[in-house]
Amino acid sequence: MRKVAPIVIAVIAGVVATGLFVAFNALYTVSEIEQVVITQFGKPVGDPVTTAGLKFKVPFIQNVNAIEKRVLEWDGNPSDMPTKDKLYISVDLYAR
């Protein structure tokens, strides 16, 4: 009976450790300055999460993709574009 107790304790410890690992992979946090899109196998699932706090997802299957909510600016390189009458105009690119 004394040889069975360490084995039982080791099995219980393994089950508890596995449960904690899965639970920590199911939780994620959303900051106030970001929004989150959950993807499952590369495809978006559900609506974007825009409220801050602790959230849940399916562990190992769903991924969390955080995106800034604040205004981001991007300034691209200007390029020359042909018009219909074969004239080239310079187009400046930017996004907000």
Token match 């600016």: residue? Answer: 73
> 93 in helix, strand or coil?
coil
Q: What is the pLDDT tens value at each position of the chain, 96 positions in all?
A: 577 788 888 889 899 998 888 888 899 999 999 999 999 999 999 899 999 999 999 888 999 999 988 887 888 899 999 999 989 999 998 888
- Position 6 scores a pLDDT of 83
